[in-house]
Amino acid sequence: MSHRVLVEAGPAAGVAVLKFRNPPVNALSLEMLMELVISLEKLENDKAVRGIVITAENPGIFLAGLDLTEMCGRNPAHYAKYWEAVQELWLRLYQSSKVLVAAINGACPAGGCLASLTCDYRVMADNPKYTIGLNETQLGIIAPFWFKDTLVNTVGHRAAEQALQLGTLFPPAKALQVGIVDQVVPEEQLQSAALSVMAQWLAIPDHARQLTKTMMRKPTVDQLVKQREADIQSFVGLISQDSIQRALQTYLQKLRQKKG
Ligand SMILES: CC/C=C\C/C=C\CCC/C=C/CC(=O)SCCNC(=O)CCNC(=O)[C@H](O)C(C)(C)COP(=O)(O)OP(=O)(O)OC[C@H]1O[C@@H](n2cnc3c(N)ncnc32)[C@H](O)[C@@H]1OP(=O)(O)O
Catalytic (active-site) positions: 66, 111, 135-136
pLDDT at residue number 258: 78
| Mean per-residue pLDDT, 178-205 | 98
Q: Over the stretch 82-134, which tens digit does the pLDDT of each residue have?
A: 999 999 999 999 999 999 999 999 999 999 999 999 999 999 999 999 999 99
Render pLDDT for 35-70 as a digit per residue (tens, 0 to 9): 999 999 999 999 999 999 999 999 999 999 999 999
- Centroid of ligand 1 to alpha carbon of 112 (angstroms): 10
pLDDT computed for residue 27 by the predictor: 98
Residue 245 lies in a domain: no
pLDDT digits (tens, 9 = 90+) for 206-235: 999 999 999 999 999 999 999 999 999 999
Query: Residue 59's domain is classified under what CATH number?
Result: 3.90.226.10
From 4, 20, 22, 25, give the residue whose CB has the most ligand 1 atoms within 8 Å, as the site to mutate.
25
The number of angstroms, rounded, from the C-alpha of 150 to the middle of its chain's C-alpha atoms is 10
In-domain check, residue 254: no
CA-closest residue to ligand 1 atom 24: 64
Question: Ligand 1: distance of its center to the CA of 232 in Å?
Answer: 21
Residue 228 CA, ligand 1 centroid: distance in Å: 25
Say whether pLDDT at 1 is over 90: no
Structural domains in the chain (count): 1
Each residue's pLDDT tens digit, 231-250: 999 999 999 999 999 999 99
- The answer to the question of residue 68 being in a domain is yes
What is the pLDDT averaged over residues 137-142? 95
In a domain, 247, yes or no: no
Phi-psi label, residue 258: left if phi above 0, alpha if psi -120 to 50, beta otherwise:
alpha
Nearest to 36 by CA among 3, 78, 82, 70: 3
Question: Per the domain annotation, does 180 fall within a domain?
Answer: yes
pLDDT tier for residue 260 given thresholds of 50, 70 and 90? low
What residue ranges in 45-109 does DSSP mark as E strands? 51-56, 60-61, 99-104, 106-109
pLDDT of residue 2: 77
Does the beta carbon of 108 lie inside 6 Å of ligand 1?
Answer: no
Q: Does any domain span residue 142? A: yes
User: From the alpha carbon of 131, which atom of ligand 1 is closest?
Assistant: 30
58 falls within a domain: yes
**Where in the sequence is the domain holding 159, given as residue range(s)?**
5-203
d(CA 228, CA 200): 35
How confident is the prediction for the chain on average, in pLDDT? 97
* Predicted-complex ipTM score: 0.97
- Residue 220 forms part of a structural domain: no
Instruction: Output the pLDDT for position 239.
Output: 97
* d(CA 13, ligand 1 centre) in Å: 36
Check the CA dihedral 61-75-242-244 and report its sign. Answer: negative
